[in-house]
């Protein structure tokens, strides 16, 4: 759900903790580790269980929007193109605890939807925003929906990009795409799932083939490096699983399709033309959500913000203008 990386030489498995290190001396223990270097608009916020990094950008005065990235365990770096919405409103991009520039998180009891909902509400509250638009992508759509369910009074609208609101349906879509891969990739995936040897080079190469067709079409290497060198693979593995198409984590049975009819704010659903989640699956969510819109982002896979940023920004901008008008009535 965005995503574990398959690289040409094998999958890049990176966690926020890195390799074990020798015990520090007393003097070293007295010095806290340096935090990330902060640029313009960037800050660190103390939240329950740690500190999160966020960036506030934009000169517009409309209702703010907070961006919830995918993963889980990754960062908001790939959402940078959506900062173009700042002409109209404040745009808040943040890294969920455990990934990106935010602080570490290794306690599996915190690898829960409820934890990330609390974290998002802490951010909203600290910024002094009573009402926000929430944009979630991939795993972030679960977070955005669950935030609305917990705090409807603070949500003006929801944008659900490449929605993963029914994990069994998402997994079925991904499996159907696996069946379109090369014979060697299909065999490698079958063997990997049977033996649980997900580090096998053949499984890694199969992942690379899948991702290049259904996750991102035209990635910039520097952007990929920025995403994957700050990923927390432990969170991804625990909640998602070893890959985008092998779902074994705690989210495996997540499905809120029956509850979509109860949403009472404007909702936009988007999906990429070649999206792993399945555009028809996302259309189905829209049909079950009163008054919602669905937009297909052409010439793009799962990460529409990379593959077709201009269209993605326009679609979201137009929706927000409409939602703002509705909200003011």
List, for residues 225-272, the tens digit of each pLDDT value. Answer: 888 899 999 999 999 999 999 999 999 999 999 999 999 999 999 999
**Most confident by average pLDDT, 12-21, 40-49, 295-304:** 295-304
What pLDDT is attached to residue 181? 98
Query: How would you class 154 by CB atoms within 10 Å of its CB: exposed for 0-12, middle for 13-18, buried for 19 or more?
Result: middle
Q: In this predicted structure, what is the pLDDT of residue 281? A: 98
User: What's the average model confidence in pLDDT over 51-57?
Assistant: 98
Give Cα 95 distance to the centre of its chain: 10
With 80 as the cut, is the pLDDT of residue 25 above it?
A: no
Which of 21-25, 210-214, 303-307 is the least confident region? 21-25
Which pairing describes strands 132-137 and 91-94: parallel, antiparallel, or unpaired? unpaired
Q: Which of 14-28, 161-175, 195-209, 274-288 has the lowest mean pLDDT?
A: 14-28
For the ranges 9-13, 75-79, 253-257, which has the lowest average pLDDT?
Answer: 9-13
The pTM for the full model equals 0.90
Catalytic residues: 138, 275, 302
Omega of the bond leading into 3 within 30 degrees of 0 (cis): yes
Cα separation, 67 vs 1, whole angstroms? 16
Q: Would you list the domain boundaries of the chain?
A: 5-9+34-328
- The pLDDT of residue 112 is 98
For the ranges 24-38, 112-126, 301-315, the lowest mean pLDDT is seen at: 24-38
113/238 Cα distance (integer angstroms): 12
pLDDT in tens, 148-196: 999 999 999 999 999 999 999 999 999 999 999 999 999 999 999 999 9
- Among the ranges given (32-46, 57-71, 287-301), the one the predictor scored with the smallest mean pLDDT: 32-46
Closest alpha carbon to 261 in 105, 93, 149: 149
- Pair type for strands 50-57 and 65-68: unpaired
Whether domain 5-9+34-328 has CATH 1.10.760.10: no
Scanning 97-217, the segments in alpha helix (DSSP H) are 113-126, 139-150, 167-178, 183-195, 201-214
Among the residue ranges 77-81, 200-204, 226-230, 257-261, the one predicted with the least confidence is: 226-230
At 17, the pLDDT band (50, 70, 90 cuts) reads very low
Q: How far is CA 203 from CA 6, 137, 171, 212, 226, in A?
A: 9, 26, 17, 14, 23
pLDDT confidence of residue 250: 98
Beta pairing partners, 45? 52
What is the pLDDT averaged over residues 35-42?
Answer: 87
- The pLDDT, as a whole number, for residue 224 is 87
Rounded CA separation 81/154 (Å):
25
Mean pLDDT of the chain: 90
Are 71 and 235 spatial neighbours (Cβ–Cβ below 8 Å)? yes
């Amino acid at each position: 759900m965005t995503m574990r990386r398959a690289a040409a030489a094998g999958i890049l498995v990176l966690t926020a903790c890195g390799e074990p290190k020798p015990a520090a001396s007393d003097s070293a223990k007295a010095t806290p580790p340096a935090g990330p270097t902060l640029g313009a608009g960037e800050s660190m916020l103390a939240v329950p269980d740690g500190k999160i990094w966020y960036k506030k950008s934009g000169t517009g005065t409309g209702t703010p929007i907070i961006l919830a990235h995918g993963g889980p365990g990754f960062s908001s770096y790939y959402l940078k193109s959506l900062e173009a919405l700042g002409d109209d409103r404040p745009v808040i991009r943040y890294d969920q605890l455990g990934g990106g520039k935010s602080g570490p998180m290794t306690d599996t009891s915190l690898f829960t939807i409820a934890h990330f909902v609390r974290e998002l509400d802490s951010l909203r509250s600290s910024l002094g925003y009573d009402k926000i638009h929430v944009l979630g992508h991939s795993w972030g759509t679960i977070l955005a929906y669950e935030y609305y369910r917990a705090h409807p009074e603070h949500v003006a609208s929801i944008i659900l990009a490449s929605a993963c609101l029914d994990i069994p349906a998402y997994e079925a879509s991904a499996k159907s795409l696996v069946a379109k891969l090369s014979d060697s990739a299909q065999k490698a995936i079958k063997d990997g799932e049977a033996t649980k040897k997900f580090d096998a080079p053949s499984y890694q190469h199969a992942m690379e083939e899948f991702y290049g067709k259904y996750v991102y079409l035209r990635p910039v290497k520097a952007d990929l490096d920025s995403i994957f060198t700050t990923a927390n693979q432990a969170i991804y593995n625990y909640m998602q699983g070893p890959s985008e198409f092998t779902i074994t984590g705690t989210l495996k049975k997540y499905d809120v399709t029956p509850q979509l009819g109860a949403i009472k704010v404007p909702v936009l659903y988007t999906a990429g033309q070649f999206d792993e989640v399945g555009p028809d699956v996302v259309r189905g969510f829209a049909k079950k959500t009163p008054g919602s819109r669905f937009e297909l982002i052409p010439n793009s896979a799962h990460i529409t913000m990379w593959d077709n940023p201009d269209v993605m920004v326009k679609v979201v901008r137009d929706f927000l203008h409409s939602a703002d008008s509705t909200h003011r009535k």
